[in-house]
Structure 1
């Protein structure tokens, strides 16, 4: 973006200070402001400006928090009625009132203004904060662009963000002045990018190396859920996410979910639809980890030029370290800018041709087929309610495909990070013997024999690793082995591999009965009644310990896995009762199990 005005800002100054030095008492009208750094107090500047304002924010938490600390302000979101807004306007009509709203709440403001005979287009200044969300979120949140048609009717208006994106094909912005707030001091943040074929293992190694609070940002609830299940350290993590995300985690028995940031845990997850524009207060600067899990969820891509910057900006007290863990997928389907140009041009030509044909024909057969084609096609998602190309939806397509393309190549992703002005960038490639894709294929997708073949191949590749004396490498091997072997048959394969080698398993055609016979394996019942099992249970569940039901299940699963038992089925706390006398209870709304004595 080329800028018409550049205002400097000094270390320790706020947004309002930079404006005043440039001769501006408050945010100028008809401008798009790139404040470059989050947390400069731009919204505060408008909230204290001596004029009536409508401020549009992307989500509810930021609206509530800002409305609480500013006089004559009202937060408008789901549940706030038009009547409440009209009462507020009538009570504060002689004051410099501030209406903070989500995009979805804007229609209620419009209705309330009409009800009390206020011409909002002349009386109010309108500010769209975090304006890149208009482009980035419109594909799943269509209502975010609802205020934009009214936005251009306001006499006084502006858009602002530390990472603004404006649709290039929207000529309504042609007359807007582009303003940059340029720091005159070193402000860049160190960031380490780790590209890997195993996000799960890399995340576990990274969090083990961190001391203090860790905040993990991931745009996929499914990925977060898998981290909960497979990384024991994250059992007590809290996830800050939307209501939909909370429901998904609740179904998966993942604890500590919240929409409001109160006090952070040792480990904390955040989803992108939650953390935008929210101030995150932390006693000490936390370690921040960004996750782009391309094999688990392609929607988890993080844009280095916008989202990565916004995430770091949420921490008003600064951050300790920033690490971006990303998998790379050369086979990821995405379109180049030229391909999108050609697609839109071709789709528009055909679509408009259909409409012209429909207007010209009276043949019932032609009209039926044309109406069917016009009513359902892949071009429709990029049109507005009037059937015209929507610049925000089209800009979203370009932005989404450009970000996906970065994750097809390590070189491309590194290049974009190096080009941003915000980061002091470093890169490490961390490749593992078992990739995320292979792990998920073994656990979910492969037929029994194919699964066994892949396990044997991975065990052979990891053989050297198993014999190392390096504690860090040995720890990695044990964890990867644990994620590789999740069924009883997997354990037979592993035990046979250790005793007889991979060729023996291949010659046995991966047959479970042959492997059992070769190992002379006891039945599951015999294993559970063995002294070794009882010793393992006693070490894992000390007398007097009080654990949540979920912790008991997880710990039992680990014991069973070590003993070569099937952990693929559901494990209940009832199974613990054959080894120990227990007492059931409740603590902090969680069911608990207390170990009284062993049988």
Structure 2
């Protein structure tokens, strides 16, 4: 696509360098708060503006009374009423992607030629790529977008979409380039304990309000509770999360919980989830500190893209001088898998080739069962194959996959994340967004980390988190051996606590490794049984027959009698030929009950093991 630079002076807005946003344009405005949607709202034409989140729409409605907002709860009849009774010459509708259909339905009922009479502008359009994996309808407007006579995309953190339709419709890129430096001072703290690094950072701040952007209501609640700052904290999140908040979290009561950003509701500590990361304005008349938290190990969805999220978040504060410090705190994960951009495109192309092959096979077969199977395969794998309902490629899913892999590559090490932030700049320029100061805060194995593993977690979730702690202890030993400097190391106490509270996990991890532990610990009972048979004072290594029997048969399980006796005698003959194939022999090792349930009209003898004769402590 043709790339045209558009230069802007300090203090100027878009309305000073262009009369209107032209059609068939991807407007990379590159700077937040320079009035792209404002320009469209004052432009002398009818407009549909698509915004990614409801709070953005609500904020614009407060400032522009002639607009009409459409989102969940706003009916088609309400839109019809606005279009019919509003006497202003230019109609301005702001809608979420999910509510776009209601707007089109209203136009259709009024016989409005909207494809020719309305200009459509998709604001913060990169959200179609970043959110498409969990917001299926976010790309719905694009089905009609290219049919509009007047159309454009805009964002301060846009990108070059892979969708070939932009080339086919001769789209051009307008690249807004400031003639002044825009880089913001930023501290990047990489750590293995986001909570401890955050706590330490709060201690360094002055007595100002703090805005903390963290896309995890659960972690926000835990941090507030652990820091004992409930009375000083406000949480801003979605309407749905607000409604469900106390049902999910009984033991926390922040000073404010809501979905609307109003200055009167701000507290000392203000926590915001992802719907406040872009597009809306945070108006505040006092100095603040801004913190972004990412815990990609325990909450992968809190990952921040340096080229989009970080720029957007700090850009929410329209009065630039109020932000006195800007800090990003994140952990890293060397195990993150990723593909290069070239590898991602090759993989996506292969997915498309598979889909086309299946479609061709379906068309060439006269067997209705073949068609049914192919349809089932495509329906079950649709999202994984990156396709729309009509089996055409969903190119925003492609963009999402490419972006996700690129961002994953940043989070594999502290240095790669630092370099990613340091290299973010405006397209085709060397104008950087951040002056980055790097700090590494290594918290090694504080015993409190074990206390934060919630009792409500499933066994597998607890297992995952304890393995992380054990891996950290091992990494610490390696670092200490190599002479690396550790800020805080409480490995011995943590190791002791894990051994006391979770002896089965501890023993199997150190004896059989992480892979062996995961293979054995398919359930808590399976782990306990394995541990009882192989470890500690109750080990049955000196009683191989008992160990073999108790490994084969489970307490609480029912077996067909004849099959059980066959297995029983097979095992016993490997160790003691004197044991007989009868119930008396079985009762030497197992407490049992016998029954004759009727199965398919036939009574079949069964044996149920109620307990082991020799106690090996496998109770939950």
TM-score clears 0.5: yes
Partner of 1:296: 298
* 8 Å contact from structure 1 (residues 348, 379) kept in 2: no
* 8 Å contact from structure 1 (residues 61, 260) kept in 2: yes
Cα distance, 1:283 vs. partner?
2.4
- Any idea what SS the aligned residue of 1:228 has? helix
Cα distance, 1:282 vs. partner?
1.9
Q: Tell me the number of residue pairs that the alignment of Structure 1 and Structure 2 aligns.
A: 476
- Any idea what SS the aligned residue of 1:283 has? coil
Q: What is the alpha-carbon root mean square deviation over aligned residues?
A: 3.6
**What is the correspondence of 1:11-410 to structure 2 with a 5 Å cutoff?**
11-19=10-18, 25-92=19-86, 95-174=89-168, 175-211=170-206, 212-233=208-229, 236-247=232-243, 249-250=245-246, 251-253=248-250, 254-255=252-253, 256-262=256-262, 263-318=265-320, 319-363=323-367, 366-367=370-371, 369-377=373-381, 382-410=386-414
* 8 Å contact from structure 1 (residues 194, 430) kept in 2: yes
Distance 2:128 2:449 in 1: 37
Partner of 1:543: none
Residues 488, 83 of structure 1: alpha-carbon distance in 2 compared, 3 angstrom cutoff: same
Cα distance, 1:396 vs. partner?
1.0
Residues 455, 234 of structure 1: alpha-carbon distance in 2 compared, 3 angstrom cutoff: farther
Cα distance, 1:163 vs. partner?
0.4
Distance 1:368 1:66 in 2: 48
Distance 1:408 1:456 in 2: 16
Partner of 2:435: 424
Cα distance, 1:160 vs. partner?
0.8
Deviates more, 1:365-374 or 1:95-104: 365-374
Distance 1:146 1:78 in 2: 15
- Unaligned stretches of 5+ residues in structure 2: 425-431, 481-486, 502-534, 538-620
Deviation readout 1:178-224 (Å, 9 max, x if unpaired): 11221112221111111111111000001111121111111222322
TM-score (norm 2): 0.69
Distance 2:416 2:238 in 1: 32
Cα distance, 1:302 vs. partner?
0.2
* 8 Å contact from structure 2 (residues 444, 472) kept in 1: no
Deviation readout 1:348-394 (Å, 9 max, x if unpaired): 33332222223323446645544443332266551112111111111
* 8 Å contact from structure 2 (residues 126, 159) kept in 1: yes
Cα distance, 1:325 vs. partner?
0.6
- Unaligned stretches of 5+ residues in structure 1: 20-24, 465-472, 491-508, 512-599
- Any idea what SS the aligned residue of 1:412 has? helix
Residues 119, 442 of structure 1: alpha-carbon distance in 2 compared, 3 angstrom cutoff: closer
Deviation readout 1:79-107 (Å, 9 max, x if unpaired): 21111211211223561121111112211
Distance 1:190 1:10 in 2: 21
Partner of 1:499: none
Residues 432, 148 of structure 1: alpha-carbon distance in 2 compared, 3 angstrom cutoff: same
Cα distance, 1:249 vs. partner?
3.6
Distance 1:210 1:482 in 2: 30
Distance 1:101 1:3 in 2: 29
Residues 204, 125 of structure 1: alpha-carbon distance in 2 compared, 3 angstrom cutoff: same
Greater Cα radius of gyration, structure 1 or 2: 2
* 8 Å contact from structure 1 (residues 214, 289) kept in 2: yes
Residues 454, 341 of structure 1: alpha-carbon distance in 2 compared, 3 angstrom cutoff: closer
* 8 Å contact from structure 1 (residues 442, 454) kept in 2: no
Residues 481, 188 of structure 1: alpha-carbon distance in 2 compared, 3 angstrom cutoff: farther
Residues 488, 370 of structure 1: alpha-carbon distance in 2 compared, 3 angstrom cutoff: closer
* 8 Å contact from structure 1 (residues 279, 316) kept in 2: yes
Distance 2:493 2:266 in 1: 30
Partner of 2:415: 411
Residues 409, 170 of structure 1: alpha-carbon distance in 2 compared, 3 angstrom cutoff: farther
- Any idea what SS the aligned residue of 1:13 has? coil
Deviation readout 1:531-566 (Å, 9 max, x if unpaired): xxxxxxxxxxxxxxxxxxxxxxxxxxxxxxxxxxxx
Cα distance, 1:76 vs. partner?
1.2
